[in-house]
Structure 1
Amino acid sequence: MSWAYCLPTGVAGYAIVEHMDQGTGNVHRQAMQTPETRGWGIIFTYFFMLYFAILLIHRERRDEEKCKKKYGADWDRYTSLVRSRIVPGVY
């Protein structure tokens, strides 16, 4: 889920650039990709994906401990049948 949320940003980085409209004299602000910011998007937007992965693994381990205490032998039987914890075949 978090990976899909991050993908649209690509590896872009954006800066808020102000420019003045010559006709009206109004100042406009626009998010633009500049050479200085190119590539920085990956650090900030993909951090969410890393944060979310750590959050899910931590929660899974807490839930595992609580369920083992609460359900005992039934939980052991369940985990012997269902081997994957978050992603089937991976973890």
Structure 2
Amino acid sequence: MLRKQAIQRNKKSDIYSFGVILWEISSGRPPFESVKISGGTNIRDIAILIQIRQGIREQPIEGTPNSYIQLYKRCWDYNPDLRPSIEEI
């Protein structure tokens, strides 16, 4: 069973979330839409969290400019200190 850990939200976690929004704009769909898990929303959310912690991210959408892809990938960096600042974005 997974322990609930306190999530520390800060500017760097906001940058990660902004990267997800950038991907959503380029794809036109919600992230991890393809994750199909029976057992309800909570179990699906846990499955997605496990994938994110393992470094799994959504794939770039064909036709998206490379500079845009590189920007949202930097926002998703596992190490929050390597994520860009909002001023850089």
Indicate the TM-score class for this superposition, using the shorter chain for normalisation: under 0.3
Higher relative contact order (CA 8 A, sep 6+): 2
Point out the structure with max Rg over C-alpha. Answer: 1
After TM superposition, the score normalised by the length of structure 1 is 0.23
Query: Which structure shows the bigger proportion of residues in strand conformation?
Result: 1
